[in-house]
Amino acid sequence: MNFYLPALLMCAVSGAYYVLDIGETRLRVRLMVSAHGVLGALLYIGAILWWDFSPRYRPWAVLPYLLAYALPLSSVIYALLRFRGPKLLHFIQILNLFAFMYAIFIGGMAVSGDWL
């Protein structure tokens, strides 16, 4: 259960961005503004499941995993620029970034198969 708490937090932040983006009526833009947490959670859960089904040592897999996190991090920047709801909501991105750091650390060990 402990492994999935960052994913739940990231999805909760995305849900808050989607629900509170009341100034935007276009669904595509609302989905793009709120995609950061879901993208990060999918990467993280994918890394944990990959380790669960194939617990081998593969150090080559860390770099693609780290580079894949450029997508949710760039989505955070997009959300900061395009969000039309209450601007105080941006402060929960601090929690989201801590969840990203935890997910990158634990997920990197999971995809490489090299745990501390």
Q: What confidence score (pLDDT) does residue 7 get?
A: 94
Residue 68 has pLDDT above 80, yes or no: yes
Mean pLDDT of the chain: 91
pLDDT digits (tens, 9 = 90+) for 7-23: 999 999 999 999 998 88
The confidence band for 114, taking pLDDT boundaries of 50, 70 and 90, is confident
- For 36, counting Cβ atoms within 10 Å of its Cβ (0-12 exposed, 13-18 middle, 19+ buried), the class is buried
Backbone phi, psi, residue 12, to 5°: -65, -40
pLDDT of residue 1: 52
For 78, other C-beta atoms within 10 Å of its C-beta total 15
Cα separation, 33 vs 18, in Å, equals 7
pLDDT attached to residue 94? 94
pLDDT of 3 = 80
Crossing angle of helices 36-53 and 93-112, in 10° steps, is 20
Specify the DSSP class assigned to residue 73: H
